[in-house]
Amino acid sequence: MKNSVRASELGLKLLDRARRLKKWNKTAEAWCSSALTSRATLNRFWARQPIRCDTFIAICSAVGVDWEKVVEPDQIKADQINNGKSPTVAQIKRVDWGQAPKLRGFYGRTEELNTLQQWILQDKCRLVTLLGMGGIGKTSVAVTLAHLLEDKFEFVIWRTLRNAPPLEELLADLIQFLSGQQETNLPSSVDGKILRLIRYLQGRRCLLVLDNVESILQSGDRTGSYREGYAEYGELLRSIGETAHHSCLLLTSREPPQDLIILEGENLPIRCFPLTGLSDTDGQEILKEKGNFAGDDTQWLTVIEHYAGNPLALKMVACVVRDFFYGNIAQFLNFLKQGSFIFDDIRDLLDRQFQRLSATQQELMYWLAINREPVFFKELEQDVFCHRCAPDILQSLGSLQRRSLIEKTSAGFTQQPVVMEYMLNRLIEHIPEEITSQNFALLRTHALVKATAAEYVWDTQVSLIIEPIIERLLAIFGSTKKLSNHLLEIISMLRSPTSTVKQITKETAYICGNIINIMRQLQVDVSNYDFSNLTVWQANLQGIKLHNVNFAHCDLTSSVFTETLGNILSAAFSPDGKLLATCDTDWKVRLWEVPTGKLVLICEGHTNVVRDLAFSHDGKILASCSADHTVKFWDVSDGKCLKTCTGHTNEVCSVAFSPDGQTLVSSSGDHTLKLWDITTGECLNTCTGHSSWVRSVAFSPDGK
């Protein structure tokens, strides 16, 4: 085939009929744009003068006519003599690989590449997005795919958005390339440039690749939102996705732009492909590329699965095993049992991911790592319920999933092992600093261990979180005694007699429970200590001697004693310190033997959550109040209900005995206080004047 060809007279007649159907004149601007040519070239075409082969084909294609029916027949014969075939797209294509990397050692991904080729070639997808966490191989797959499809497109263009180029700059670059540098008078507006680009995509079959799309997206609450000044990229993506053409835009990103979340679908021309880790076999090939390694199948599998088949992570690990363990995987695994699977390069990779997250997303990442096992939304909502609303949590989980930082399984949400370990390392690094400086952040918002977790999960949490934190704290304080004194000082600091329950919950949250769990592991004796009025969430009090420990007016949500309870809302010790009374959300009052931790009595009778309780001064009567609007007196010797006091019209929040032991005072959500005769159960007086809930009550020392 010659470099230049001309039309036959019969071919021009055929083309002229097609032109008339499109209502174009012989040098229409639309024809020039569609064929990426000029009026001068069209004039030469109609004059049957030789023009470039690729331009000839484009002119014919623009009106839907097969170029071989238009070209002078003897010129096809010349090509058949010279090459044995007529020109194909591959012979006239124009390629600009830009900053596309040259791959070395690409492994696997056969199934993924087959699916992507089908989407683009058979299903005619106009916009495809490759999604996945950093290092998972998005760019490598995109490069390989583009090379596989190269012969199917007239133009292949690769551009990276790593440095976040302005959209106008990118559009001008693309249009210049597609026009063969002939476009010199571009539209002034972004919309005009987008329309011009779309015309080129309609006139020629183009494969356009935009790598690192996350660079133009902002970090924060809403995944896929554009950075300031880059929102017009959304219009480009919408236009390419929604407008009919025969080209394809391939994106790679750690998260999908917000426009695609709405537009994409399994059976639509706009689709997203989540890229996961390599198979065990392909993972081994990556490791072997770095050197000779000794290990059995189980050992190979352990390493590959721990890093979830992440190619970049495996390459980094392979270098460590080769350079420091002489290729012995068994030695590497034995060493890692004593430490961490995380190395600096992987940490840097995850650091960049983590810094892009919003506060809620970061909070959930820590919770998923602490939980260890997959958890459903409801459990996560309970973990963070005092800080975030349900829609915020759901939106954040969706964002994290789209960023490939978490996974959703049939058992709930979880993280890949290497991500989970990274999050725990961050936790272990920050908590000692917070305890030392008493500047609380994570210690307030997260339970380091969950008292309500299964025993084996608790043991793992202690081993992987509490013990490393204690090790760092001991290195700072020098001895268990100095550390325990510092921890008790924190408890004293948290106690504030003027704080309301709401303020305490907001300000202290998980701090006290975390301190108790650390002291439990240190085997610190907390006898005679005062935890009254504190929020004590997720504290494991099983097996701890609580002699003369004061939990009065505590919020003991999700804390665990020797026996299984509901969410404990309050606790009180008898005057002689031998009994502990607790009330909880299962409507029951329990009495415990302090020296042994044995459950002595269960007092049943309330019909709603029991809010508070108090012992009489002689220890013979226990008073309780409930959300069922009542106050009850119980006989401590046998657990029988002595009196039920009614009269409040809303939840009863708090009770207290007078110094002389003859009167009980109660406070309520009905804005009142009531004084009750202990002997008869009659209401002696009602105190009014508050304009909202009265949450706590106490007598003065003289009872007046």
If asked whether residues 361 and 484 sit together in one domain, one would say: no
405-409, 610-614, 631-635, 655-659: least confidently modelled range:
405-409
- Model confidence at 90, pLDDT cuts 50, 70, 90, reads very low
Give the end of a domain, one of 414, 437, 472. 414
Read off φ and ψ for residue 641, nearest 5 degrees: -80, 120
Closest CA to 365 of 314, 305, 407, 310: 407
Does residue 188 sit within a domain? Answer: yes
**Residue 7 backbone dihedrals phi, psi, to 5 degrees:** -85, 150
Q: What is the CATH number of the domain that holds 199?
A: 3.40.50.300
Task: Give the confidence band of 388 by pLDDT, cuts at 50, 70, 90.
Answer: low
Look at residue 192 and tell me if it is in a domain: yes
Query: Is the predicted pLDDT of residue 1 greater than 50, yes or no?
Result: no
CA distances from 11 to 3, 56, 62, 301, 663 (A): 19, 12, 15, 64, 111
422 in any annotated domain: no
Mean pLDDT of all residues in 555-565: 71
Instruction: Give buried/exposed letters for 566-600 (b at 16+ CB in 10 A, else e).
Output: bbbbbbbbbeebebbbbbbbbbbbbbbebeebebb
Q: Same domain for 349 and 328?
A: no
Q: Between the CA of residue 274 and those of 212, 247, 256, what are the distances in Å?
A: 15, 22, 10
Q: Report the CATH number at residue 376.
A: 1.10.10
What pLDDT is stored for residue 595 in this prediction? 72
CA-CA-CA-CA torsion sign (166, 169, 172, 174): negative
Same domain, 213 and 320: no
Q: What residue type is assigned to position 574 of the chain?
A: S
**314 inside domain:** yes
Q: How many domains does the chain have?
A: 6
Residue 128's DSSP bridge partners are 250, 271
Render pLDDT for 197-255 as a digit per residue (tens, 0 to 9).
Answer: 998 998 889 999 999 898 888 866 566 788 888 999 999 999 999 999 989 999 999 88
Beta partners for 626? Answer: 610
Amino acid at site 289: E
Query: Residue 334: its pLDDT value, please?
Result: 85
**Residue bearing tokens 């994409």:** 264
How many alpha carbons lie under 13 Å from residue 294 in its C-beta half-sphere? 6
pLDDT of residue 420: 85
Does position 453 have pLDDT exceeding 90, yes or no? Answer: no
Domain span at 410: 339-414
**Which pLDDT value is given to residue 657?**
94
Higher pLDDT, 147 or 307: 147
Q: Is the pLDDT of residue 61 over 90?
A: no
pTM of structure? 0.53
Same domain for 126 and 259, yes or no, is yes
Work out whether strand 683-687 and strand 4-5 pair parallel, antiparallel, or are unpaired.
Answer: unpaired
Q: Are residues 332 and 367 in the same domain?
A: no
pLDDT of residue 575 exceeding 60, the answer is: yes
pLDDT in tens, 502-528: 344 456 789 999 999 999 999 998 877
Please determine, for residue 184, whether its predicted confidence score (pLDDT) is greater than 80.
no
In angstroms, how far is the first alpha carbon of the chain from the final one? Answer: 112
Residue-averaged pLDDT of the chain: 85
Two tokens, residue 601: 């009595």
Spatial distance between the Cα atoms of 568 and 581, rounded to a whole number of angstroms: 10
Same domain, 181 and 203: yes
Q: What is the CA radius of gyration of the chain?
A: 36
Q: Let me know whether 68 and 183 are in one domain.
A: no
Give CA–CA dist 153/132, Å, rounded: 26
Instruction: Please report the pLDDT score of residue 654 as a whole number.
Output: 93
Q: Is the per-residue pLDDT at 577 higher than 50?
A: yes
Q: Does 491 lie in the same domain as 454?
A: yes
The tens digit of pLDDT for each residue in 466-507 reads 999 999 999 999 999 999 999 999 998 887 644 443 344 456
Q: Which residue has the higher pLDDT, 70 or 593?
A: 70
Q: Are residues 183 and 207 in the same domain?
A: yes
**406-441 confidence digits (pLDDT tens):** 888 777 898 876 788 889 999 999 999 999 999 999
Least confident of 350-354, 391-395, 578-582: 350-354
**What is residue 179's predicted lDDT score, i.e. its pLDDT?**
84
For residues 637 and 553, membership in a common domain is answered with no
pLDDT for res 502 = 39
Same-domain pairing of 61 and 140: no
In a domain, 82, yes or no: no
Q: Which residues pair with 623 in a beta bridge?
A: 614, 633
CATH code, domain with 22: 1.10.260
